[in-house]
Chain A
């Protein structure tokens, strides 16, 4: 029933890759997620806590609907989704083709540990003789060559690091399940034959090639060679031409007859080019003239090997691909290493510190000095280590380090009372986002000190590592200060990954000067190659928020490129078993996995089986083996069919209780998933065995080999009861089940987009492009929003705006309603019926900053005329893209004057040429005017870059113009930093000021006099300018009632309140209410476009569900018990419940409800229940688990 859905490859399993994959998967695409390392999660797997709530919250990325397709556990522990295939340790070798059909070759590094067989007992780790620094703990601890990739991973499976493994194979012998195999390395499977009559040539060739890891045979004559070839397949032959008996050319012919695919290289002692050419005609690949350098031959062999290896690579066809490989952290010990990293004890990188803060890190719950082990009390953070540093060639700002250091300092200060000093040394504190400044203020309140200074270097004091590190810096005024710190944290920036850069180069993907992939203008996730998209750190330094948004945008773009218009979303077929199975008498089959006799050795399975069969509903207890494998599972299924069981309980290792494994079993047995339960018994057996062997050692009873059986028998008696109890818990889980079909949520598959700015238009086009009708509502007469006043300054922008407007107006599925506003809505989420009214007709305050947008052209008038007849639209999702406007400058009357402009006004004056910039002018730009303080305590992001652009424009027009920029922190994160450098180089003057001491304006007839106190000069300064430009920042245009009628909220600044600022950045708690652009958060054009596409991706994912499949576990209200006390409504963390006042009942939104059960816990009358986990059911499980503990 499922048609072929789009197949998209995501390269890189960091947070960007995970989010892009999940977005694609929830929209129904098949995703191939390829990751080079041995675990997913990228950098974030090493970071436990994130801003703003100092927690993790990554799980909020998981889909809210069709929850049963995915595994709802911690995302840091693992990712499972039916539509995502994850390939770890896999390299992307090549990409060919075009959008719609890319052929990609993937090479997976063979794993020596079979993850299905590994039960995580750790015996291999105990015997491994290798000790290396653990990269997961940033080298602060050590690990063995066989290890678990990350401690929090859901999988117990170990893996072997091929680079450090010494091939001693002790682990293989120690493994109880035979999970470890030392398969030949790939080069060893490449067979090379060297034929030469000279022994010295044969031997040295063999030595060279064997050193490179190839399997080499030698033969002294052609005859010998042919004999060898009869038995062994070879991949490459290097042969001499002139040999006694049969010569090389003849050998070539005969060898090719035997093994036609053989690559042959001819070696000739003299320049017998003619015979070599003859050989080439007969099919030799190449020839070399003796004597030759080893490198010459090795290069040839390596070319042949690459072809051999590529031929064995996995080849896949995908419609589009997303690159999300991220970037590397800067290594501070390169070049001059002024801070003595790895030389001075106590100097650590921010990643190392992140691990020190982690409970799974080197210090566990304590924060101790890595060298002395003493508790750390005084910590300093050095910002911009390797960022904004032209000496290292890193002209960019790394974007995330300021916030990361603020977070770390706050965590250190709040979690560890021992920390007395936490100082951040910074140049500009970059807090360019909605809640970032608030967070920095919180840190200040928590006692973190911020010092605006750069520490030049640290001197090593090797005498006593405990004495601390002397930090010397220049304070603002004049003097040098110094202080002793125990720990110095270098806030390292990022650098493009070499591998990523090489990939882009080889595949014709455009990059910028720093080596990041350059996105196409106005298409933030598009690379220069159609069908290949990029997100995350690969496209420039990004923080988590930006990465998440861009990943969703990339997913949207990839869906567009894959063009799925003629394929339907795959929908999982429900089990064919009728619902009545729940009512049938349970016939339970218990399958116990022997796990290669591990279980039988540990306990008396007969006794277990007997104990279990005491329950009459247990129809059979089967011993099976290798449930993790196909054959094991097939045997078990056969057993089920034989006895006609309608419930299944497996007792096996952790691998088989994973959700995807249970799903496979349920599918094979044709049972609903509720009828299948898995119990992990192996883990407790291992724990019991360890305990027993510990006791054994203590009693010294292990010297007699004959006595070995005795403790085993004792152990059996010890272990049988807990095991039976565990399995019985599983049995009681499947006994009472509910298969009532959850209410499917209906939905209008149309979208309403409010706001016709560039964000709204982009979202509308993206949604309509996927085949869903869109109503686009704009209150002003014309589309374009802020771009209407912005575009005259840039030709590109003009062209882009015109193109988008034309596309919107021409699109069949988009109805444009200009001069219209949203009046009210009825219906419920997903089934909204929204009334539209002419804008300005009501008494509401619709303060418009787009009044100057022009009168609108003929087309627009037409469409709005057409729209005016429609008063009501139906839609299933709503995208609020109402935009924002320049904040009111709030100029006191004494500060008005002819030369005082707002930033927007000045831009318009420049574009309209009302200011003569050809002659030298004197301009002062005042940043953060009214912004980043009081009620607008957020950075507006757009003003610093705009001021820099205006300053550069003025300097280009006339270099003698004097431009003064008064700033608090120059907010040019990421690649925007180059703009700042350019402005400095162009001679623009920059004056930092403090929040409480802004420059003072005294306007007069000729312009304005500005006085300020300069922190560096330590004195008051003044200058006269012709023009003053006030950068006031942006405020959102969001009318509070607009969000509220759709059940969303506004934050304290009036922006759209996101469900989660990091992990669910474009949606409200009600996932069908989305927002993008300036209404969501302060954003420049590129990030507005990214949020618009991200919102569209979410909208498309919802709309493409024909009906919302609620999860198995979902809340329900038993109306007859309900007293409408509404305790459950305030308790619901997802906002899924509301009162339907007309019907007088509490209604649950099936899409929003996540089945957490809090409502059931707070309900005083037992009216709130959760389907799938009824109280009877749960109490039974608990009773069973506790029985015997009495």
Chain B
């Protein structure tokens, strides 16, 4: 069900499917040795090992790739890229998959996508993260009252330790806006 939804979306966005093809070419020379999987620090939280994910990608089963959340868990530590005997840019390919998945606006990545968006918007505005405001914007975007509740206990603990600094939202200096636009232009 999820797969068919993904296939439909891919068909609807040919430019994204083209980008996925380009990502595939990044890892064409993969010999499936498993170095990336074994070296990944987040492997335990993934529903599919990176090796299997690359295999699906190479076999053209993109819907399988997007049905998993493996690539969203990549923390860009670059260990796999460093260790890959074929010298493949695996971290770059992971990032590419993230972008493609968000661009497709797939339901299962909605929260991830919104979180990233809130984070980046915060950066764009202030040049740093103002946690309270970022989370508020995220909760507003998610439009699900249950989500903030899930963070309640962590929030209380952080407050007790004086780690949260409530501040009134401002427009920020917006100095990074130009940089963000430039990056956006280069990417698309």
Contact = CB atoms under 8 A, between A and B. Distances in A.
> Do these two chains interact?
yes
Interface of A: 336, 338, 384, 388-391, 427, 453-457, 472-476, 478, 480, 981, 984-987, 989-990, 992, 1014, 1016-1018, 1021
Nearest to A385: B85
Nearest to B86: A390
Contact of A1018 (B39, B52, B79): B52
Given A478-B52, A989-B59, A1017-B55, A456 B87 contact: no
B28 A984 contact: yes
B33 A453 contact: yes
Contacts of A987: 25, 28
Given A389-B85, A478-B49, A1017-B55, A457 B39 contact: yes
Given A390-B85, A456-B79, A984 B29 contact: yes
A452 to B, nearest CB: 8
Given A336-B82, A456-B79, A1017-B52, A984 B31 contact: yes
A472 B36 CA distance: 12
17 contacts: A336-B82, A388-B31, A389-B87, A390-B85, A391-B85, A427-B33, A427-B85, A453-B38, A478-B49, A981-B86, A984-B29, A984-B31, A986-B28, A1016-B32, A1016-B51, A1017-B52, A1017-B55
Contacts of A476: 34
Given A427-B33, A453-B38, A989 B58 contact: yes
Contact of B35 (A456, A475, A478, A1016): A456
Contact of B55 (A391, A472, A480, A1016): A1016
Contact of B38 (A389, A391, A473, A1016): A473
Interface string B38-62: 1100010000110110011011000
Contacts of B106: none
Contact of B34 (A473, A984, A989): A473
B28 A457 contact: no
B125 interface: no
B37 interface: yes
Given A984-B30, A985-B28, A989-B58, A474 B37 contact: yes
A427 B31 CA distance: 8
Contacts of A473: 34, 38
Nearest to B48: A478
B34 A1017 contact: no
A1017 B33 CA distance: 13
Nearest to A982: B29
B52 A457 contact: no
Q: Nearest 10 A-B pairs (CB), nearest first?
A: A456-B39, A474-B34, A474-B37, A454-B33, A474-B38, A390-B87, A456-B83, A984-B29, A456-B35, A391-B87
B84 interface: yes
Given A454-B85, A457-B39, A474 B30 contact: no
A384 B85 contact: yes
A981 B29 contact: yes
Contact of A1014 (B55, B82, B84): B55
Nearest to A455: B38
Contacts of A1021: 59
Contacts of A455: 35, 38
A472 B40 CA distance: 11
Interface string B91-122: 00000000000000000000000000000000
B28 A1017 contact: no
A480 B43 contact: yes
Given A390-B85, A472-B38, 14 more contacts: A388-B31, A427-B31, A427-B33, A454-B33, A456-B36, A456-B79, A474-B35, A474-B49, A478-B48, A981-B29, A984-B29, A985-B28, A987-B25, A1014-B55
B86 A456 contact: no
A1122 B51 CA distance: 72
Contact of B83 (A390, A457, A480, A1017): A457
A137 B126 CA distance: 62
Nearest to A980: B31
Contacts of B48: 478
A989 B57 CA distance: 11
A472 B34 CA distance: 11
A338 B35 CA distance: 12
Interface in B57-74: 58-59
A455 B39 CA distance: 8
B184 to A, nearest CB: 30
B122 to A, nearest CB: 35
B85 A388 contact: yes
A1017 B58 CA distance: 12
Contacts of B59: 989, 1021
Contacts of B82: 336, 338
Of B34, B79, B82, most A-chain CB atoms within 10 Å: B34
B52 A1016 contact: yes
Contact of A474 (B25, B28, B51, B84): B51
Contacts of A457: 39, 79, 83
A478 B70 CA distance: 13
Contacts of B29: 390, 981, 984-985
A986 B36 CA distance: 22
Contacts of A1014: 55
A515 to B, nearest CB: 18
Nearest to A981: B29
Contacts of A453: 33-34, 38
